[in-house]
Structure 1
Amino acid sequence: MLKIAIIGAGAISTAHIEGYLQFKDRCSIVAISDVYTDKAEEKVKKYGLDAKVVSDYKELLQGDIDLVSVCTPPYLHAEIAVDFLYAGSHVIIEKPMAASLKECDEINEAARKNGKIVSVIAQNRFRNPMMKLKAVLDSGLAGKIVHAQVDSHWWRGHCYYDLWWRGTWEKEGGGPTLNHAVHHIDALLWMRGRPNEVQAFMSNVAHDNAEIEDLSIAMLRYPDGTLGQVTSSVVHHGEEQQIIFQGLDARISAPWKLKASLSASNGFPEPHAELETTIQHYYDHLPNLPYEGHTAQVDNVLTAIETGAPVLIDGHSGRDTLELITSIYKSASTGECVKLPLEPDDPFYTREGVLKHATHFYEKNSHVENFTDTAITTGRFAGGNN
């Protein structure tokens, strides 16, 4: 029986707790830590847990915790993860992995030195539409991919950034590019690979209580000359998200939509019904996952600990995602066309470098300590909990 600790008892911890509770024969939540102990106590009471509550996670470092879920604000991820890795625990880190590429490297080095697992939450991979889209891409039925498109469209009211740690480069690490589009950027990298050039713009158009962006648009160039684009937003009503791949032979996406064309003699499109039927048949016969979302990723990590199998999303995947996001911030802040990879001598490699060079749109002059514990939205499609 694996012993689990939850660090951070905010809204996102619910997804982790409920995930672990699906596997009561394999693991048990024995501790919850939060600087606001009343929030941790509420979680213990709500879920009927036999778990101790502590205000300082370091009280748990001397215990025999097998696996830790880090659910704190992003600026604390690296310190907590590294401490537990050296204490002998495996670690699941809520997105984003850390506040800088340097911190990602420190986490991965701690995992390597101690022979422990790090998995970064990217629960969209563990959803049927995403898994099936990846399988169709891998089948090659759509042909060579010539364009990729991510629409990470969310909506957050002005008061969203009143929370004390949100809306600052220091503590939140960025706006929707980092904290919302991270899900789809991870999926894009998983399915399409890393671009080698990024040109981006960002702005703050609706939240003058935040330093960070609330809208960004990035253009991507891949080594083979094909292109991609990523829109990250918290100003889009309807919260509709999608990831689209245009192949030479067909267009496929999540949410699932399929279209294939043939060329008429004058170059205009005609329906390619035969290919559409073939791809749809392939898609329809792909198996569904036994679990989805956070629960599926928890299962993946538990299985890795139990059997030695690799996790689907490790610390290197988490770092790759942050690298692309950081390149978007660098390009949007400097006007440069950024070339990947970003090296350790890059001004944006450290948190201090990001704080110094990233564009500050507004200064945050006031805040609230906590919101009422209300439900959080997860978007129209396979969204994350933000």
Structure 2
Amino acid sequence: MLKVAIIGAGAISGAHISAYLVFPDRCQIVAVVDMYPEKAQKRINEHGLENAQAVTDYKELLSQNIDVVSVCTPPYTHAPIACDFLHAGTHVLVEKPMASSLQEADQMLNAAQQSGKLLSVVAQNRFTTPMMKLKGVLDSELMGPIVHVQVDSFWWRGHNYYDLWWRGTWEKEGGGCTLNHAVHHIDAMLWMMGPPVELQAMMANTSHDNAEVEDVSMAMLRFREGAVGMITSSVVHHGEEQQLIFQGKEARVSAPWKVVASTARSNGFPEPNPELEQQIQQRVEELPDVVHVGHAGQIENVLNAIETGSTLLVDGESGRNTLELIVGIYKSASTGEKVTFPLGAEDPFYTREGIMKHAVHFYEKKTTVENFEDLSITLGSKLEP
């Protein structure tokens, strides 16, 4: 039985707790940590965690032989917490984004390598049937080489969203919608496409004058094999529609699911290709559905890796690759320059201090609250039809 601790009792912690409870024969939550002990105790009570203790300082657990922790704290705290537990011999699952800088991400990767323990970064959207099937179709190469990818990560957050004490600053949140909302769709795109070689970006803050960071950004990408792409990240889009569209030379597929295939008429205009559409649709229907969805699926993957040595679907390197692309967007949007990859330790945007110094500061925070009312949050669509 693996002993689990939840570090941070904010809104997202409930998703982690519920996911671990799906596997009661394999793991047991023994502690919930939060600087506000009443928040930790509330999570314990509402989930019926009879064997869990409420703890205010995670360092109290470093000597208690915890097997795995979920880090659900603000981004700027991820690196020190993860490194401390990894060095203490504990496997770590850390919420997105992996860290607030590439330097911190590299510190986490080094700690995992030195300790021999697992480091996984939450990307729960991979563990859904639409995403798994979309990945399977792309891997089949039925649609030919990819020529264009479109990522629309559209969310909506009210002005007061950035009143929370750690949000809306480059120092503590590490960025705005690109880092903290589009991160899931960027991760999925990289999983399916691989990394770009260069990008050009712009960003703005149109609706949240209580935040230093962006509330909308756009990036144009170029990939090594010649494909191009576009990522739009936003917390100003009503309706919160999200989609990934992959255009191949032979067909187009997307999540939410849609397949269209065309051939050329004698004049070059499109002619439907129902045969290829049916072939791709058949491939989708042959692929299995995901059994455990979202956080539960990722936690099952982590538990399997701990127990059997199987491969993590989302490891620390994946988390760093996603962060590097996002930092590239911030660099390009702040400097107006085209960015090429990789971003090395000498780059001005490699450290959190460098980002704080060089990134555009749109506004300064005007109001700060310690906690919001404990309401449900939106985790994004499952990208189903």
TM-score strictly above 0.5: yes
Match of 1:315 in 2: 316
- Summarize deviations over 1:23-45 as a string: whole Å, max 9, x none: 00000000010001111000100
What TM-score, normalized by structure 1, do the two folds share?
A: 0.98
Distance in 1 of aligned mates of 2:378 and 2:87: 35
Unpaired runs of at least 5, structure 1: none
Distance in 2 of aligned mates of 1:87 and 1:352: 27
Q: Offset at 1:365?
A: 2.6
Distance in 1 of aligned mates of 2:194 and 2:63: 40
Distance in 2 of aligned mates of 1:117 and 1:174: 26
Unpaired runs of at least 5, structure 2: none
Alignment of 1:322-361 (within 5 A): 322-361=323-362
Structure 2 contact 137–283 (Cα < 8 Å) conserved: yes
Report how many residues are paired.
Answer: 383
What TM-score, normalized by structure 2, do the two folds share?
A: 0.99
Structure 1 contact 241–381 (Cα < 8 Å) conserved: no
Distance in 2 of aligned mates of 1:127 and 1:193: 20
Report the secondary structure of 1:23's partner residue.
coil
Match of 1:223 in 2: 224
Distance in 2 of aligned mates of 1:114 and 1:334: 38
Match of 2:5 in 1: 5
- Please tell me the residue identity of whatever aligns with 2:23: F
- Summarize deviations over 1:137-164 as a string: whole Å, max 9, x none: 0000011100001000000010101111
Alignment of 1:9-158 (within 5 A): 9-49=9-49, 50-158=51-159
Distance in 2 of aligned mates of 1:8 and 1:133: 33
Report the secondary structure of 1:231's partner residue.
strand
Distance in 2 of aligned mates of 1:306 and 1:251: 39
Structure 1 contact 242–381 (Cα < 8 Å) conserved: no
Q: Offset at 1:113?
A: 0.5
Structure 2 contact 125–382 (Cα < 8 Å) conserved: no
- Summarize deviations over 1:154-195 as a string: whole Å, max 9, x none: 000101011111111111110110000000000111000000
Is 1:250 the equivalent of 2:251?
A: yes
Report the secondary structure of 1:151's partner residue.
strand
Match of 2:190 in 1: 189
- Please tell me the residue identity of whatever aligns with 2:256: P
Structure 1 contact 240–381 (Cα < 8 Å) conserved: no
Runs of 4 or more, structure 1, over 6 Å off, are none
- Please tell me the residue identity of whatever aligns with 2:330: Y
Q: Offset at 1:344?
A: 0.7
- Summarize deviations over 1:320-358 as a string: whole Å, max 9, x none: 000000000000000010000101100000011000000
Q: Offset at 1:382?
A: 4.7
Distance in 2 of aligned mates of 1:257 and 1:225: 24
Match of 1:179 in 2: 180
Distance in 2 of aligned mates of 1:263 and 1:71: 51
Report the secondary structure of 1:22's partner residue.
coil
Alignment of 1:171-320 (within 5 A): 171-320=172-321
Report the secondary structure of 2:21's partner residue.
helix
- The CA RMSD over aligned residues, in Å, is 0.9
Distance in 2 of aligned mates of 1:341 and 1:43: 41
Q: Offset at 1:377?
A: 1.4
Report the secondary structure of 1:149's partner residue.
strand
Q: Offset at 1:224?
A: 2.0
Report the secondary structure of 2:150's partner residue.
strand
**Between the two proteins, what is the percent identity of the paired residues?**
66
